[in-house]
Structure formats: C-alpha cells, structure tokens
Chain A
Amino acid sequence: AQSVAQPEDQVNVAEGNPLTVKCTYSVSGNPYLFWYVQYPNRGLQFLLKYITGDNLVKGSYGFEAEFNKSQTSFHLKKPSALVSDSALYFCAVRDTDAGNNRKLIWGLGTSLAVNP
C-alpha cells in the first residue's frame, strides 16, 4: 500500500542552525514527492517537488530536499533556520497509478519550532 511517514511529530531547532524534517514513503511505481508548509490559520503552501532528475531539489524560502531512492526518503532541509520558519510541514507522494485516482497521499505533518 502507498504510504508516507513523517516520524517526528515535532522538531525543535535554534535559529541559525540547520534543520531537517524527515519523510519516508512507500509506493509501487515512481514516486512524485512534495513538501508543503502550513502557517497558523492559513492553507497549505507548496514548497518544492521531486519528479525526476537531480536528487537535490531546491524550493521556496531557502528550503531544499534530498531524494534518496535506496532509503525511500525525501527529507526537507534548510542550512540556517529562521524563527519565521516555525510552522507545520507536510510531506506528500502522488500515486501515479491511475486506478488510485492519482491522489496525493499525506504524512501526518511535523511541527517545526525555531527558537530565537
């Protein structure tokens, strides 16, 4: 079965330090992977995606993610965290099997807290 796991409910990091938010996935075919961010009282905003090609994907607000096929992971990273990065982060994978309505399969989210 297709699935996404975000093993950490919460990540705490000091401002200026690097951050990593973890995501692992399970799909039968090729994974199309996405990261979204949700700020309080807002909708989800797209950060970045991996479809094919370079394993290191760069996205909005200085975020990047590394696709690792052997470890079935797609961890979100940022070299230097900002207090304003504090938010809820969701990883998602697109199920490319047309029989599964091409739906997005979501992780449960990771709350990132960046401390001043």
Chain B
Amino acid sequence: EAQVTQNPRYLITVTGKKLTVTCSQNMNHEYMSWYRQDPGLGLRQIYYSMNVEVTDKGDVPEGYKVSRKEKRNFPLILESPSPNQTSLYFCASYAPRGLTEAFFGQGTRLTVV
C-alpha cells in the first residue's frame, strides 16, 4: 500500500529539548515536503527536498532543519523547540514529473511547553 508514515503522532516536549519527527514514504517519490498547519493560516511549507541530498527552505524554515540521506526518509529536526512551534505537522511526497497527487502522512501534533 502506498503511504507516507510519520512518527510520532503526538508529542509533548519542553522548550529547548531537541526532537526529531520522522517521515518515510514507500513510493520512490523524488519530492518530499514538510508543512505546518495552524488555525486560520492553512498549510505553510517549512522545507522541501527535490531528491536525495537536495533540500531547500520553504516559507517558514526558521527553527527547523531537515536532511535527505535516503530517498524514502525526510526527518524534521527541531534543535531547540519553542512554544511558537506548537502546531500540527504534515509530511508529504509526490513525483513532480508525473503530475501525480501528493500523499500525506497522518500528521504529528506537537506541543512545546
């Protein structure tokens, strides 16, 4: 089954404690992206990756890092989380050349206290 898997689904952490949210896809998609979803603001892109070892900033990259060492994995790293990073996070992947739809993970609800 084609899917994007995110972990964890829920996370409560304290300010400054480094955390990683994992994302893995099994569709061999080149393109992967992280979004955060906040009420009234829709989906905002944090970082994206066009392929292995190719990553770039999206619209709201401050406070986040990513890596793309393998095609299937695209972890999101918060080196020093702050309360304003409390949000719902989604990972997505698609194959840009094929004009396919994007597949989304189930989401990670992060609370930073």
Stretch at the interface among A21-29, A66-74, A76-84, A103-111: A103-111
Contact A90 B102 (CB under 8 A): no
Give the A interface residue count (CB, 8 A).
21
Contact A94 B105 (CB under 8 A): no
How many chain B residues sit at the interface, stated as a range, is 20 to 34
B56 contacts across to A, CB distance below 8 A: 101
Q: A43-B90, A51-B99, A108-B40 are in contact. Are A103 and B105 (CB under 8 A)?
A: no
Determine chain B's interface SS by DSSP, over half rule.
strand
A51 to B99, CA, bound (A): 8
Contact A34 B101 (CB under 8 A): yes
A77 to B92, CA, bound (A): 25
Q: A44-B90, A101-B50, A101-B56 are in contact. Are A106 and B43 (CB under 8 A)?
A: yes
Known A43-B107, A104-B92; 14 more pairs at CB < 8 Å:
A34-B101, A42-B107, A44-B102, A44-B104, A45-B104, A46-B101, A49-B101, A94-B99, A101-B48, A102-B96, A104-B33, A107-B42, A108-B40, A109-B42
Partner-B contacts on A (CB < 8 A)? 32, 34, 36, 41-46, 49, 51, 90, 94, 101-104, 106-109
